[in-house]
Amino acid sequence: MFLDRIKQIYKIRDLRNSIIFVLVMLFISRIVYHIPIPGLDIVTLRNLFQSNQLLGLMDLFSGGGLTNFSIAMLGVGPYITASIIIQLLSMIVPQLEALTKEGEEGQRKINAYTKYLTIPLGAMQAYGFLTLLQKSANTPILSNLSALQYASVIITITAGTFFLVWIGDLITEKKIGNGISLLIFAGIVAKLISTTKNIFVIYDPSKIFSLLVFVAIALLTIVVVVMVNEGQRNIPVSYARRVRGNKVFGGVNTHLPLKVNQSGVIPIIFAISLIMFPTMIARFFAAAGNHTIAGISNWVINLFQNQIFYGVSYFLLVFAFTYFYTAVIFHPDKIAENLQKQGGFVPGIRPGTHTAEYLQNIVSRINLAGALFLGVVAVLPVVMQGLTRGIGSTVIGGTSILIVVSVVIETVKQIDAQLTMRNYDKL
């Protein structure tokens, strides 16, 4: 079956060329991730990332750009942050909400606003990361730079992010998958490969049991992620039969799919941003001249380094944000209104308000399973660190697996859709 699908793709010239183009773009993006910014102590930097789990997690999402201190050290992070901000603002700002209803033209304007916002966010995140790295290391990572040189480094990092966003747009145009998601996917896979190779190169026979546990949990996690990611509750919907003259309209039974994990990885991204914030702020004041401020800062740093406190806080934040984000993107009132306008109804439920309440109750129960799932996925690195003595604890993070599985499923679906469309055209 798989080989037959590969043969079909190879025979379709434009689809084959599109896939090759996407692979070339991903290869170029990986080259960018390895172009370092001059003027740093690379040995001190890598030692810092090995000793700091928080920075290691940030490096994973940047595709390894942070440890390389490359011009793409931020990855597409600022663009993702800008997308989340614009998406939330479109729920409360009437002008942006109106753009979301204008179809393709409105979406084009929203994408433009997102890219405009990416520039200042990229500059601020670049400055924040540089300051954080400087404060986290005992010895300076960057050599003494003038204000102009420091500004040029920030501009270079921001330009690197924007270059990746441009590559992502080129990939998206080929309709093989979402370009930004594929860039994140490529970064995570590259990090997985390099770290897995290190695990086997530095082989320790005494850790064979831990390694087996690591592999077993990794495989189980992939299976569970696929099941939950594809899981959905189908709400039966019927459309009333209408007779106009000699023609009959409606009378169709269908269903409304409600996914178990409607919010994707957005709650985890929100939680990561929030849980990193106190530590980042505390590191700025850890060396303050005021002993009270320095003491509070060091207490906050030590508190978040406690694995139990970190894991529980992370889990609760992800759980809460899952409900919050689902409430932002899922509107049962609008769905009930659209069903009523189209002559549709849920069997046994009165149209209108009663249907909205019914859908809200269903989503609330589904959200419990989705929130628990995302919470467990988020704290999986902490659990893995205890069970496998730190083998691949950060790399096997459930968030990484969730992103990889989601991107692979979506990409395969888009390729299948293109194959189906071309086969249909031939008939």
Beta strands, E only, 158-214: none
Closest CA to 267 of 88, 115, 129: 88
- Quickly state the pLDDT bin for 384 (edges 50, 70, 90): low
- Cα distances from 367 to residues 232, 267, 312, in angstroms, run 11, 12, 19
> Residue ranges of the domains in the chain?
13-202, 204-427
The span from the CA of 312 to the CA of 61, in Å, is 21
* CATH-assigned architecture of domain 13-202: Orthogonal Bundle (1.10)
* 393 close to 381: Cβ distance less than 8 angstroms: yes
Is 70 exceeded by the pLDDT of residue 126?
yes
Greatest mean pLDDT among 46-50, 136-140, 143-147, 309-313 lies in: 309-313
Sign for the pseudo-dihedral over CA of 380, 386, 387, 393: positive
Average pLDDT, stretch 274-288?
71
Structure tokens belonging to residue 372 = 């628990």
Is 80 exceeded by the pLDDT of residue 59?
no
Structure tokens belonging to residue 409 = 């499923």
The per-residue pLDDT for range 31-54, each reduced to its tens digit, is 888 887 766 666 666 666 655 555
Q: What is the separation of C-alpha 217 from the centre of its chain, rounded to a whole number of angstroms? A: 21
Is 60 exceeded by the pLDDT of residue 113?
yes
With b for 16 or more beta-carbon neighbours within 10 A and e for fewer, the 168-199 pattern comes to beebbebebbbbbbbbbbbbbbbbbeebeeee
With DSSP H G I counted as helix, E B as strand and the rest as coil, what are the percentages for the chain, rounded to 5?
A: 75, 5, 20
- Cα distances from 316 to residues 213, 275, 298, 301, 323, in angstroms, run 26, 11, 23, 19, 11
Higher pLDDT, 219 or 312: 312
Average pLDDT, stretch 277-297?
74
The span from the CA of 25 to the CA of 186, in Å, is 11
The span from the CA of 123 to the CA of 59, in Å, is 18
DSSP 34: T
Which residues sit opposite 236 in a β-bridge?
255
Single-letter amino acid code for the residue at 98: A
* In the chain, % of residues over pLDDT 90: 4
Which of helix, strand or coil describes residue 125?
Answer: helix
- Quickly state the pLDDT bin for 166 (edges 50, 70, 90): very high
**What count of other Cβ atoms lies within 10 Å of the Cβ of residue 158?**
23
Is 60 exceeded by the pLDDT of residue 425?
no
Is 70 exceeded by the pLDDT of residue 147?
yes
- Quickly state the pLDDT bin for 333 (edges 50, 70, 90): confident
- Quickly state the pLDDT bin for 364 (edges 50, 70, 90): confident
* 406 close to 377: Cβ distance less than 8 angstroms: no
* In the chain, % of residues over pLDDT 70: 74
The average confidence (pLDDT) of the chain is: 77
Q: What per-residue confidence (pLDDT) applies to 205? A: 65
The per-residue pLDDT for range 188-230, each reduced to its tens digit, is 787 777 666 666 655 566 667 766 776 777 777 778 777 887 7
Q: What per-residue confidence (pLDDT) applies to 216? A: 76
The span from the CA of 349 to the CA of 62, in Å, is 48
* 177 close to 171: Cβ distance less than 8 angstroms: yes
Average pLDDT, stretch 262-283?
74
Q: Same fold for the domain at 13-202 and the one at 204-427? A: yes
Q: What per-residue confidence (pLDDT) applies to 167? A: 92
User: In sequence order, what are the residues at sequence separation of 6 or more whose Cβ sits closer than 8 angstroms to the Cβ of residue 332?
Assistant: 355, 356, 357, 359, 360, 363
Which of helix, strand or coil describes residue 202?
Answer: coil
Exposed / middle / buried, residue 133 (Cβ in 10 Å: 0-12, 13-18, 19+): buried
CATH topology of domain 204-427: Preprotein translocase SecY subunit (1.10.3370)
Is 80 exceeded by the pLDDT of residue 109?
yes
**What count of other Cβ atoms lies within 10 Å of the Cβ of residue 313?**
18
- Quickly state the pLDDT bin for 394 (edges 50, 70, 90): very low
* 190 close to 35: Cβ distance less than 8 angstroms: no
Is 70 exceeded by the pLDDT of residue 372?
yes
Average pLDDT, stretch 361-365?
88
